[in-house]
Amino acid sequence: MVKKTIVIITILLCVVLCFAGTHDPWDGTKWDVASPDIDQPHGNAYKEIYDLRKGVAARINKEHETLATSSAGGVHKQGSARAFFQDAEPTTQVNGDAFDSGDLGSLWFDSNADPDNQFNVLTATTPTWTPISTEIIAVLLASNRTFAGTLAVTGESTFNNHVNLGADDDLIGSSTSDITINTNKFTVAGATGNTVIGGTGTVGGTLDVTGNIDPTSYETTNGGFLDEDAMDSDSATKVASQQSIKAFGKAHGYPTVNGTGTAVFTKFFTGTLDADASTSVAHSVTSGATKILACSVAMKNSGGGAQVFESYAASSADNSISVSFNDTNVVFASVGANFQGQIYRIKIDYIL
C-alpha cells in the first residue's frame, strides 16, 4: 500500500511538473504575462525573478540607457522618443483614451500633408494640432532678420512698408523681369528695357537715358521746360517748345511771304560750270519748283568781265547764259564760251 501511494504521488508530481509554466533557459526571452501562476513549484521562484529582470531589462534597454545599480539608467536614449507618424489626425492617446492636459505637447507628423510630413504639436485636448511652422514663422517675422544667403521667392511677395537696400546692394531682375510701381506710374519692361514714368511723380537728381525718349506730352509745372511764345525769359537751363519757337519767330524774326511771317531758309552752292553749254546743280529742296522763293547766281567770265548776278543774253554768244530752277536742279543753259569751265555761286531762299 505504501509503495502504491508513493507511485501515485510521483505520477502526480510529474504531471504537475510537466504542465507547470517554465521560462527555461531563464534568460528573459520567453516573455509570458500569464505565467508563472500561483500554482507553480516554489523551487523555480528565484529563476522566475531572474528571468523577469532579464526580460524587463532587455526590453527597456532598447530605448533607454542601460539599467544599473544605484538607480542608474532608464532615461531615454537620444532619438528614442517616437511621435505619431500617420496620414490621419490622431484623435486619442495610443491606448484609445481621450487626450488630457498631460498630452499637450505631443507631436505628430502628417505623412500625407502638402508639403510632405508636416510637423504638428498638440495645443488643445479637443484635440487641436498646430503646425510647428506657424510658430517658427511667427518668431521669424516678429523681429529684424538677416539672411546670409540667397532668399528666393517663387510666388508673389507683398511688402506693406518698404524695402531697404544697403550700400552697394542692387535690385537685379532677369532679362524678362518687369519692375512696376502701380499702373503706368513707373514701369520698366524687362523684355525691352522700355521705361514708362506716369502719374504726377517727380524724378529727383539726374535721369540719364541711353535709349530714345518718347514723351507724349510736356508740362511746365516743375521747371526745365519752356512754352513761352513771347520768349521774354532768359534761361540757360530750360528747353523751349517747338510751338513757342515758331510763334516767336513769326512774331519777331520771320520774313513775310505774301504778308505772313514764315520761316525762310537759305542754301549756298559753289562749283565750276561744265566745259560745255549746259550744267545742272542739284539743290535738294523738296518740291523746289514751288518751295524756292528766290535763286541768285554769279558766274566768272573769262573774257575779262566781272562776276554777274543775273541771267542774260548778250549780243555776243560767247557772253550769253541763262539760269532756271525746277523741282530738283538749278540749270545753266546756253552757256557761252567765256562762262564754260568757270566758277559759279548760287544762293537759294526756300520754305519747307
In this predicted structure, which of 4-8, 45-49, 150-154, 167-171 has the lowest mean pLDDT? 4-8
pLDDT higher at 112 or 208:
112
pLDDT tens profile 196-205: 776 666 666 7
pLDDT tens profile 264-313: 999 999 999 999 999 999 999 999 999 999 999 988 888 765 555 455 66
Query: If we measure between CA atoms, which residue out of 170, 172, 203, 173 comes closest to residue 186?
Result: 203
**Kind of pairing between the strands at 343-350 and 265-272:** antiparallel
Percent of the chain having pLDDT more than 90?
A: 31
Q: Say which residues have a Cβ less than 8 Å from residue 98's Cβ, sequence separation at least 6.
A: 92, 125
In this predicted structure, which of 43-47, 62-66, 157-161, 307-311 has the lowest mean pLDDT? 307-311
The pLDDT score that the predictor gives to residue 185 is 74
Mean local confidence (pLDDT), 172-194: 79
Whether 272 contacts 342, CB under 8 Å: yes
The pLDDT score that the predictor gives to residue 351 is 94
Is 348 exposed, middle or buried (CB count within 10 Å of its CB: 0-12, 13-18, 19+)?
buried
- The rounded distance, in Å, linking the Cα atoms of 234 and 69 is 104
pLDDT tens profile 28-51: 888 887 777 777 777 778 888 888
The pLDDT score that the predictor gives to residue 17 is 46
Q: Say which residues have a Cβ less than 8 Å from residue 65's Cβ, sequence separation at least 6.
A: 72, 73, 74, 75, 76, 77
* Residue 324 parent element (H or E): strand 322-325
- The rounded distance, in Å, linking the Cα atoms of 255 and 251 is 10
Split at pLDDT 50, 70, 90, the class of 6 is: low
Whether 348 contacts 283, CB under 8 Å: yes
Beta bridge partners of 109: 85, 119
pLDDT higher at 62 or 325:
325
The pLDDT score that the predictor gives to residue 12 is 46
- The rounded distance, in Å, linking the Cα atoms of 338 and 278 is 13
For residue 36, the Cα-to-chain-centroid distance in whole angstroms is 76
- The rounded distance, in Å, linking the Cα atoms of 322 and 278 is 10
Domains and CATH numbers, the chain: 2-60 (no CATH), 84-139 (no CATH), 225-257 (no CATH), 265-350 (2.60.40)
Beta bridge partners of 329: 282
Residue 235 has pLDDT above 90, yes or no: no
The pLDDT score that the predictor gives to residue 16 is 45
Mean local confidence (pLDDT), 216-232: 79
Beta bridge partners of 331: 280, 324
Beta bridge partners of 120: 108, 131
pLDDT tens profile 126-152: 999 999 998 888 888 899 888 888 888
- The rounded distance, in Å, linking the Cα atoms of 312 and 320 is 6
